[in-house]
Amino acid sequence: YQMMGNEIRDPHSVESEFEKVAGMGLLDAVTVMQKEKRTLQAEAEVCANQGILEGTLHMKVKGYEIHMGLTQLSGSCMPFGMVSGVPANGLTQADGACDREGRAIGTYIHGIFDNSGFALRIVNNLRKRKGLNEIETRDADFRSFKQKEYDRLVKLIRDSVDIGKVYEIMNSWEE
């Protein structure tokens, strides 16, 4: 998301030796890298409703944030969503950005497409722009699907790998 803005500044040389680099210019925003990494679970309410976000206003999306930048929006940008219960102050805080036409969107929240209703609305908005029919609503719970797939992977590993031997090898290493 940070790369979509006009510029990324790194005054503390956190990510690179360059003090600033140009972004892609898709969003009217500037990001300044901070010294501390922000990691947290997040839930946001979508507050934009134009372009590919049409029909998503007030939808909830959940995920996690992991980043070191603070992004400031300018003139032609508006927030993507409002994150509630922000740690340290418990207040609501703007997150992400979208351009006025709703063609470019970005957010610090990873996993927003795990909300199947949100993802389906975005896909159908894109299909509509291409002159295609909307996809019928499916009662899919992507989080449950993902958990079942993880469980299958765990079973496959347990059935295929001598975990006792792995622990034995790990415990035999000395520093």
Q: 109 near 96, Cβ under 8 Å?
A: yes
For residue range 17-74, list pLDDT tens digits in order.
999 999 999 999 999 999 998 888 899 999 999 999 999 999 999 999 988 999 999 9
Tokens linked to 119: 């993802």
Residue range 117-130: mean pLDDT, rounded: 93
Q: Return the pLDDT at 143.
A: 74
Q: What is the DSSP letter of 16?
A: -
Pairwise CA distance, residues 121 & 103, whole Å:
14
What are the angstrom distances between the C-alpha of 74 and each of 6, 7, 122, 174?
10, 12, 24, 54
Q: Return the pLDDT at 87.
A: 60
- What's the predicted TM-score (pTM) here? 0.76
On average, the pLDDT of the chain sits at 89
What are the angstrom distances between the C-alpha of 69 and each of 21, 28, 33, 101, 137?
14, 16, 4, 25, 36
State yes or no: pLDDT of 85 exceeds 80: no
Residue listed under structure tokens 């975005």: 122
